[in-house]
Amino acid sequence: QVLITQGVPDASIFFILQGELVISRTTEDGNYKEIGRRGKHETVGEMSFLLDTMPAASVRVPASATRQATVITLSREKLMTILQRDPKFAAKVFKILTMALAHRLAISSAAKTGAMLHTHLHLPRQEKSLMSGTADVGDAIPPSRFGLDDGAEFIIQ
């Protein structure tokens, strides 16, 4: 199942409640390239959502998945309405997005420069393998890292 298609307009953000999603790009020569994976308590679609641009990558449930992923999908319009009504919730959402993007940028920069990244965050397995050369499975970043209860779920009506 494809959630986001590279180059196709989509102003939604997806909060992953369970399972794993694969992020991939089709290169200029037409080849498929997996560029990352995201799991429980992570987001996808935030770059297009925040920058109002076309998705630079596709996101799908991996073919090898033993179970489907469960996500909350919010359109820009729906989320902006919620954020305008509840500034405290808005602050938490933007804190989560800021921390996640800063974390990914740090990992990407370290991988490109060959630098070691020292962090107390649990790295998702794809990012951990980039940094250490191992395939150890790390846990996703817990909600408590962002000031939320670990059992917190986003419930949108």
pLDDT at 108: 78
pLDDT at 138: 38
pLDDT at 136: 32
pLDDT at 95: 87
Q: Directed axis angle between helix 87-113 and helix 125-132, to 10°?
A: 30
pLDDT at 149: 55
pLDDT at 17: 92
DSSP-derived letter for residue 145 is G
pLDDT at 133: 35
* Residues 34 and 12: beta-carbon distance below 8 Å: no
pLDDT at 154: 44
Could you please state the CATH topology (level 3) that the domain comprising 2-144 is classified under. Answer: Jelly Rolls (2.60.120)
Q: Which residues of the chain carry a pLDDT beneath 50?
A: 118-140, 146, 152-157
